[in-house]
Amino acid sequence: MPIATINEIQLNYEVSGEGPLVVLIMGTGSPGRVWKLHQVPALVSAGFKVCIFDNRGIEPSSANFDVITIDELVADTAALIEHIRDTSTSRAFVVGTSLGARIAQELALARPDLVEKAVFLAGHARYDELQRTLVEGELENANRQMTMSPKYHAAVTAALNLSPTTLEDDSSARMRLDVFEYSLPNNSRGVLAQKRIAPDFDRRAAYRQIAAPCLSIGFADDRMIPSSSAAELARLIPGARYIEIPDAGHYGYLEQPDTVNIEMVNFLAN
């Protein structure tokens, strides 16, 4: 993946395929390469040029931050689109998940000149009390340098991010738990700065001004960003569509990739 100076920082990005530009924006603490497992191949096969990247805070993009704001993440994404788009007048399709959805939402609002259509996976206009408490608790644990056992970390991660349907299958559950067990929490400086991004935000009024065609996808078993939040987002944005994916948790794009990809491609292509 090339590293370029974008918006006065170093951004690590990769472009695949040919066609209209789709920019995929990952969530808190995760690298852009997560998209390569399912979404990038589907979009390239559908005739799109696809850009993935590591948000500021995620190495090897610039990560030496104690404070990161949503406005900075939006400006990074806007500058990246301007850097890689084919012409100065072309707009991009943007797709984001979780924090990435929030970035895409704000980008569609602030830079309508850059956004052709937008897809929000686990999108949201605000956090509820549980979400705020969870974020605050994670930060308190990190500040106290508290660690949990790998097995407990795996179980909690699975319970919060996967559908009960996935976990009912012992072989599927074991495979995913093994992955989580050996992927301990990333509490690097940049990731903690991402986690601190304004958990008390409320953008319900602002998102009524988004003009781009939008699709909000909720995951029925999502405990991190409940599907009710994704549905609320669609009601706020004029003309937005809402689709709920069953048997999917917060990592629904990994649990039900075929369904997510079909809905995403159909929306972007038509």
Catalytic residues: 98, 222, 250
Q: What are 138's two structure tokens?
A: 């994670």
Contacts of 109 (CB under 8 A, 6+ apart): 206, 207, 209, 210
Please report, for residues 47, 53, 180, the alpha-carbon distance to residue 43 in angstroms, rounded to integers and kept in the order given: 7, 16, 27
Total residues belonging to the chain:
270
Collapse the DSSP code of 76 into the 3-class scheme (helix H, G, I; strand E, B; otherwise coil) and give the result.
helix
Contacts of 231 (CB under 8 A, 6+ apart): 216, 218, 242, 244
Residues 6+ apart with CB under 8 A from 48: 17, 19, 20, 21, 22, 93, 268
Phi/psi for 118 (5° steps) reads: -140, 140
